[in-house]
Structure 1
Amino acid sequence: MSIKQKAIQGVIWSVIQNWGSQAGSLIVFLILARLLTPQAFGLIGLANVFLAFMQIFLEQGFSQALIQRQEIDPEELDTAFWTHVLSGLLLTIISFFLAGFVSNIFEQPKLIPILQCFSFLFFINSLSHVHKAILSREFAFKIMAVRTIIGIIIGGTVGIVMALSGFGVWSLVSQQFIYEAVEVFIIWGAIDWRPKFRFSFQHLRNLLNFGSSILALKFLNFCNKRTDNLLIGYFLGEVALGYYMIAYRVLEVMTQLLVSTTKQVALPTFSRLQTEPERFRQAFYQVTLFTSLIAFPTFFGMITLTKELVISLFGERWLPSVPVMQVLAFAGILNAISFFNGSVFIAIGKPSWKLWLSLLNAVLNLIACLVAVQWGIVGVALAYVISSYIAFPVSQWAISKLIHVPLLTYLQQFRSPLIGSVVMVSGILIAKHFMVDLINEKVLILVGTAIGTIIYGLTIRLVDPKLFKDLLELLKMIRSPSKIKMSN
């Protein structure tokens, strides 16, 4: 099977995984949001800040190193596995005893048992990192889709039952814990590879040489993604963080649905094409363009219908999340056209490039959020978006130097999706103006979405007929991949 065939099949199963898992997790999330308080979500948000920080030292960049390798030594897999397991065990012990110290920082004694429970996840997760890397190398996204969806169903069911029974924040703790445990169990049952009791310090040094940049990168990504949560939780409290988390969670779900599906396949695909610059460049153009075709109208549409979405999905008590969600949607638009930059850096063995860019992002984000926290959660959201847009040109300059993608050429490909989205928003706002007092929020969302979809499709067809045709061809490939003849 050619790389292109593997990539397309990978995209299909990645679509199933991401859409299936996100649909399932969104349903669970919506139910729990109606059953639990902002304080409960805020406490979990604080716990996850600590969890994400410690997780950096578990992953160490070994998975990316294994995926990126053209050829891999079985002993290298064993070395990576046992290093992960020992790291997971050590992090579990450290995290368990640090729980009291962390809770004192935020003045939240309820965090202690939550953090102690979550500490065991480090050891559990360490058992599957190498297995996931093997599956990614083999484009075995079917297995990954199954384990994710089953984990969400079981974990979500337990979480909802516990919430209905009055367990409060522990509903969210149990949901997350069971989800992780089920995933590990399924992966071990689905893959034949088993670690042998052998260890190579030479392979460890090679992995560390590659992974050191990834480790630093993950720390900087933590600063980029968690600085806002950390500052809100510390200065504004767990209730404010709960409102912010709901808005940010919606952005995450939409990003997973619209962008991460393709990114999951992008790294192994780019890695196989690293010796073919022209094909690499064309693959990069195509993946970013087709992602923007879907992501642009989605995030623009969300901005116009946010209030109706929040009331319909979460209830009126979550209305303070509306302006935060609208601001963060602009970050979603930017993410859509820069999401694959990291895969490019790693695929061609230049993780240090991404490291320096992440350092810039982290510094900008920290400064912006520190200044903006005095204006509440909306101010923090706006600071996050502004810092992202300031760093964007630098990131694209690096890409242009690395794979010879001219910045102007890269940006011009988004002209049609941007025009279509702006025209679409205008149509939705006009329709909303005349219908807002006549129909309820749910109907308004359906009508607005239908009107927006029609306007967007017609606009793309008008301003760029070839792009419209390519989009239809892509949809046909996804529906019937076996009927498409592809070559290497």
Structure 2
Amino acid sequence: MREVTSIKTATLLNAAAKYTNVIFNLLATSILARILSPEDYGVVAVVTVFSTFFLLFADIGLGSGIIQNKDLNDDDISNIFSFTIYLGLALMVLFILCSYPISLWYGDSVYFTLGVCLSFSLFFNAINMIPNALLQKEKQFVVIAIRTVVVALISYGVAIALALLGWRYYALVFQSIVSAFLAFAWNYRSVKLRIHLRFNYNSIKKILNYSIFNFAYEVLNYFGRNLDNLLTGKFIGKVALGYYNKAYNLMLYPVSYLTYAITPVLHPILSDYQNERKTIYDKYIRIFKVLSLLGTFFSVYCYFAAEEVILILYGRQWQSAIPCVRALSISIWFQMTAASCTSVFKSLGDSKTRFYSGVIYVPIQIVCIVIGIIVGNIEILSIFVAVSFIVRFVIEYYFLIRRCLHESLVKFYRDLLPELSMVLVMSVIMILIKRIDVDHVIISALIKGLACGITYLIMLFLTGQYRYLLSLVPKKWRK
């Protein structure tokens, strides 16, 4: 298979898979949201938070270490892979044991059963870390793209079938299990890996110094990202968590499917220039501007069309999630750009500075979440969570631009002024459009989409920012 080395080409391949996947994802979640209740989603959200935490210990930064280190041989990688199998088994057993106290904490025995089921998903995700990292290192983005689509089709098909059969939250759990197993099976067949019953620890030591700070950062980031779900489920309730979690995941759609089409290819490609900071900055800033420009549109549209989006995608039983979507949408612009920071930190091999940035902003995120929980209202919680993401943006880019890349912060923020003007103008237009009384939800969504989209395009040309988006188009198509 031909190796892909261009960021643009790799991004387009990854984007094709992501955007095909998002269609299936939206369709599947729309169907599931009409079959399952907010309580079902709330129950699974609680267990998923804990399984995600255990998954951090399955990787401990080894995947990114394999991508970054260019001196590892095949035997080293097989040793590291063998280590993750033992680690995955240990974490699987430990998670099953921990499921019982989790069920006692939330006062529902179903969490133990769900924990046992999700332990299999945890195991396959753990042992998939190295095969997936190896595919990224070899820049086999076509394989990853095809796998993403096929796995999504099959796993969501299973989930919908089980939901129709009345399996409730187990349908969501089995979607996770099937997805994890198929992704691992596909990746393992795509790479050359051997399993050693007795692995050589020296292979792990080669990337441990780099990986340990990545792992420490991920642990910090976990609490900043998941404490809201943990505390909401305990102190506000499963139904409230279902609404909040649905709104949060909806907010992540533009972040995930626009940003993550780019970020997975940044680390393996930019790591080739890890000793050329100026080159990395020049390449990255163009990607940053694209994400920033796209983020402005989705932040404004999701804020003013939150009601239409929820009703169209999930139905009227999810109306209580609308205020949360509106509040969280404010942070989309900031999250879309900041999500790309991680890849640049990793490509520079400066996981320590990234960790230091987390030490500062994660406590601020936690304070914001605790305030929202104390108030006891998921809309207020959503507002504080959105504010915490804005704070994260400021802190993380200070460390990346100033401390790592040694570039001017003044110039960096000055380059964001066109986006700010676009947000202000689009918001004014959307406030005026909102006064139009339209009863049909789809027509209302289309009117708001057209008004926001046309204003956005006009502002792109007036500010001259269209050239950044135009750079994504192949040169032969620009003529």
TM (normalized to structure 1)? 0.93
| In 1, Cα distance between equivalents of 2:471 and 2:387 | 36
1:424 and 2:422 matched:
no
Letter aligned with residue 472 of structure 2: L
| In 2, Cα distance between equivalents of 1:473 and 1:332 | 23
Query: 1:208: which partner in 2?
Result: 208
Residue correspondence of structure 1 range 224-373 to structure 2 within 5 A:
224-373=224-373
Q: Given the alignment, which residue of 406, 409, 413 partners 2:408?
A: 406
Counterpart contact for 2:281–2:405, Cα < 8 Å? yes
| In 1, Cα distance between equivalents of 2:14 and 2:386 | 28
SS at match of 1:475: coil
Query: 1:217: which partner in 2?
Result: 217
| In 1, Cα distance between equivalents of 2:20 and 2:474 | 20
Q: CA deviation at 1:187?
A: 1.6
Q: CA deviation at 1:4?
A: 8.8
| In 1, Cα distance between equivalents of 2:238 and 2:194 | 43
| In 2, Cα distance between equivalents of 1:343 and 1:68 | 11
Q: CA deviation at 1:105?
A: 0.9
1:97 and 2:97 matched:
yes
| In 1, Cα distance between equivalents of 2:210 and 2:89 | 23
SS at match of 2:70: coil
Counterpart contact for 1:296–1:336, Cα < 8 Å? no
| In 2, Cα distance between equivalents of 1:172 and 1:4 | 35
Query: 1:394: which partner in 2?
Result: 395
Residue deviations 1:111-134, cap 9 Å, x none?
Answer: 111000111223222332211111
Letter aligned with residue 409 of structure 2: L
| In 1, Cα distance between equivalents of 2:467 and 2:57 | 46
Query: 1:130: which partner in 2?
Result: 130
Q: Given the alignment, which residue of 449, 465, 468 partners 2:466?
A: 468
| In 1, Cα distance between equivalents of 2:125 and 2:138 | 21
Letter aligned with residue 408 of structure 1: V
Q: Which stretch shows the higher mean deviation, 236-245 or 334-343?
A: 334-343
Letter aligned with residue 294 of structure 1: L
Query: 1:59: which partner in 2?
Result: 59
Letter aligned with residue 332 of structure 2: G
Residue deviations 1:193-212, cap 9 Å, x none?
Answer: 44456632222222322221
Q: CA deviation at 1:456?
A: 0.9
SS at match of 2:474: helix
Query: 1:111: which partner in 2?
Result: 111
Change in CA separation of 1:82 and 1:193 when aligned onto 2, cut-off 3 Å: closer
1:445 and 2:445 matched:
yes
| In 2, Cα distance between equivalents of 1:330 and 1:200 | 49
Q: CA deviation at 1:77?
A: 0.3
1:415 and 2:413 matched:
no
Residue deviations 1:348-407, cap 9 Å, x none?
Answer: 111111112212222112222112213211122222222233343332221212112211
| In 1, Cα distance between equivalents of 2:29 and 2:245 | 12
Letter aligned with residue 384 of structure 1: V
Counterpart contact for 2:289–2:468, Cα < 8 Å? no
Residue deviations 1:13-66, cap 9 Å, x none?
Answer: 110222122221221111111111111000000010110111111011000001
Query: 2:159: which partner in 1?
Result: 159
Residue deviations 1:209-246, cap 9 Å, x none?
Answer: 22211221111111011010011011011111000011
Residue deviations 1:432-455, cap 9 Å, x none?
Answer: 322x23x51111112221222111
Q: CA deviation at 1:169?
A: 1.0
Query: 1:146: which partner in 2?
Result: 146
Counterpart contact for 1:61–1:211, Cα < 8 Å? yes
SS at match of 2:411: helix
SS at match of 1:261: coil
Query: 2:191: which partner in 1?
Result: 191
| In 1, Cα distance between equivalents of 2:81 and 2:118 | 21
Letter aligned with residue 71 of structure 1: D
Change in CA separation of 1:470 and 1:331 when aligned onto 2, cut-off 3 Å: closer
Change in CA separation of 1:128 and 1:451 when aligned onto 2, cut-off 3 Å: same
Letter aligned with residue 418 of structure 1: L
Change in CA separation of 1:469 and 1:54 when aligned onto 2, cut-off 3 Å: closer
| In 2, Cα distance between equivalents of 1:87 and 1:433 | 57
Letter aligned with residue 431 of structure 1: I
Q: Which stretch shows the higher mean deviation, 60-69 or 423-432?
A: 423-432
Change in CA separation of 1:469 and 1:97 when aligned onto 2, cut-off 3 Å: closer
Residue deviations 1:234-264, cap 9 Å, x none?
Answer: 1011111000011011112221112111111
Change in CA separation of 1:188 and 1:3 when aligned onto 2, cut-off 3 Å: closer
Residue deviations 1:258-295, cap 9 Å, x none?
Answer: 21111111111221122222221111211100111112
1:77 and 2:110 matched:
no
SS at match of 1:72: coil
SS at match of 1:405: coil
Counterpart contact for 1:26–1:253, Cα < 8 Å? no
SS at match of 2:166: coil
Count of matched residue pairs: 477
Q: CA deviation at 1:189?
A: 2.7
| In 2, Cα distance between equivalents of 1:88 and 1:104 | 25
Q: CA deviation at 1:2?
A: 12
Change in CA separation of 1:3 and 1:286 when aligned onto 2, cut-off 3 Å: farther
Q: Which stretch shows the higher mean deviation, 411-420 or 9-18?
A: 411-420
Structure 2 unaligned runs (5+)?
none
Change in CA separation of 1:41 and 1:340 when aligned onto 2, cut-off 3 Å: same
Residue deviations 1:452-478, cap 9 Å, x none?
Answer: 2111111121122xx32342242235x
Query: 1:383: which partner in 2?
Result: 384
Counterpart contact for 1:3–1:269, Cα < 8 Å? no
Q: CA deviation at 1:424?
A: 2.1
Letter aligned with residue 381 of structure 1: S
Change in CA separation of 1:423 and 1:176 when aligned onto 2, cut-off 3 Å: same
Letter aligned with residue 377 of structure 1: I
Letter aligned with residue 395 of structure 2: V
Root mean square deviation, CA, Å: 2.1
